[in-house]
Amino acid sequence: MNFIPNYLAARVSLDENSNIVDEDAVLILENLKTQGYDIGNRFIGFNLECTKLVLKDLATLHAAPIAYKQQKPKEFNERILPHLGKCFIFEISDESIENLIKLTTKSVCNNPDCIPYASKFAENIKRINAAQIKPNNSNPLFSTLTHNDYWLNNTMIRYEDGKPIGNKIVDFQINDFSSLTHDLVFFLYSSVELFILEKYLDELFRFYYENLVETLIKLGCDTSSYTFKQMMEECGVMAKEVELCHLIMLLPSILKLKEKSGELSEINGDDFFAKEESLHENFAKRLQFILLDFVKRGWI
């Protein structure tokens, strides 16, 4: 997995007698910037080449734990699973939720095609706090190690002669054991150039799926149950239960102008009081695309 930064050193606590990871824990990784890796333009998103490079790595990241789980279930349950599933959860105030409803409703209603469905956004925003709880309808076939905050700022690309040749996935601080479609849906709709989504989104879902299955086969797994249809059904379940809320909640932070965008673990109520004029023009365009595409797919 050459898309994971090399580990250099770590400590679990300042308490020398403790083996419990606490808030004083430190993890030191290699310096990726000196090797030419950098993040992309969060306002625009990745082009097709970068997107496929990232999706191939994401499929491998998801496939490896599935193979471990399938082939060594007892060892996986005893050695791996106890360290996953401690997802970061925070409470959003009623005032912040109301502000987010106003902001997003105004943004999507700039497009007449979105107006009939704008109330769906409001309904989902009201579910934000509940949506952070693990959904009950996930297909266990697709449960694996998930990044849980996988977007453009948390993956770094290296270029050679203008071509993307390497990728490093960073910031695993809120990883979880959940549906791989969390990462897939959130990454595609938050971090890929809108033109690419409009033209190639179905192809990109298929590209990820094919790489997932190919990796599982290389790892000696039975993939007969992993159909594309089932994966897309799982995308729909997670989109309805979690990822629409996730996207609505994070896009104001991702597309805020003149400020460093916030990570999920750093976000606070102030991020939902963003003025429309403080957001990049692609905020409204991306929201509108998400709404209309989710409606088309029956995900909202």
Q: CATH code at 135?
A: 3.90.1200
Q: What is the pLDDT of residues 136-178, one digit of tens each?
A: 677 899 999 999 999 999 999 999 999 999 999 999 888 889 9
Same domain for 77 and 5, yes or no, is no
Share of the chain above pLDDT 70, in %: 89
Contact 153, 250 (CB under 8 A): no
Which class for 127: exposed (0-12), middle (13-18), buried (19 or more C-beta within 10 A)?
middle
pTM: 0.91
Same domain for 2 and 70, yes or no, is no
Same domain for 5 and 75, yes or no, is no
pLDDT at 33 over 80: yes
Same domain for 226 and 115, yes or no, is yes
Q: Could you give the number of structural domains in the chain?
A: 2
Residue 188, by phi and psi: left (phi above 0), alpha (psi -120 to 50) or beta? alpha
Strands 143-146 and 163-169: unpaired
Residue 277 is predicted with a pLDDT of 74
If you average pLDDT over every residue of the chain, what do you get?
A: 88
Which class for 270: exposed (0-12), middle (13-18), buried (19 or more C-beta within 10 A)?
exposed
Q: What is the pLDDT of residues 174-207, one digit of tens each?
A: 888 999 999 999 999 999 999 999 999 999 999 9
Residue 122 is predicted with a pLDDT of 81
Residue 92 is predicted with a pLDDT of 75
Same domain for 21 and 37, yes or no, is no
Residue 266 is predicted with a pLDDT of 54
**Higher pLDDT pick, 64 / 135:** 64
Contact 201, 293 (CB under 8 A): yes
**Full residue range of the structural domain in which residue 189 is found:** 32-297
Nearest-angstrom CA–CA distance, 263 and 268? 10
Same domain for 103 and 117, yes or no, is yes
pLDDT at 130 over 70: no
Same domain for 75 and 103, yes or no, is yes
Same domain for 208 and 107, yes or no, is yes
Residue 194 is predicted with a pLDDT of 97
- Which neighbouring-strand residues pair with 167? 157
Same domain for 8 and 45, yes or no, is no
pLDDT at 131 over 80: no
Q: What is the mean pLDDT of residues 75-99?
A: 78
Same domain for 12 and 149, yes or no, is no
> What is the token pair recorded at 161?
């002669």
pLDDT at 67 over 90: yes
Residue 119 is predicted with a pLDDT of 86
Q: What is the pLDDT of residues 248-300, one digit of tens each?
A: 888 988 998 865 555 555 555 555 556 677 888 899 999 999 999 999 999 98
**Closest residue by Cα to residue 204 from 48, 57, 82, 91:** 48
Same domain for 60 and 186, yes or no, is yes
Residue 78 is predicted with a pLDDT of 92
Same domain for 24 and 36, yes or no, is no
Question: Which residues, at least 6 apart from 196, have a Cβ–Cβ distance to it below 8 Å?
Answer: 45, 46, 47, 48, 51, 204
Q: What is the pLDDT of residues 9-22, one digit of tens each?
A: 999 899 988 888 88
Residue 271 is predicted with a pLDDT of 53
In the block, tokens 């890929």 appear at: 192
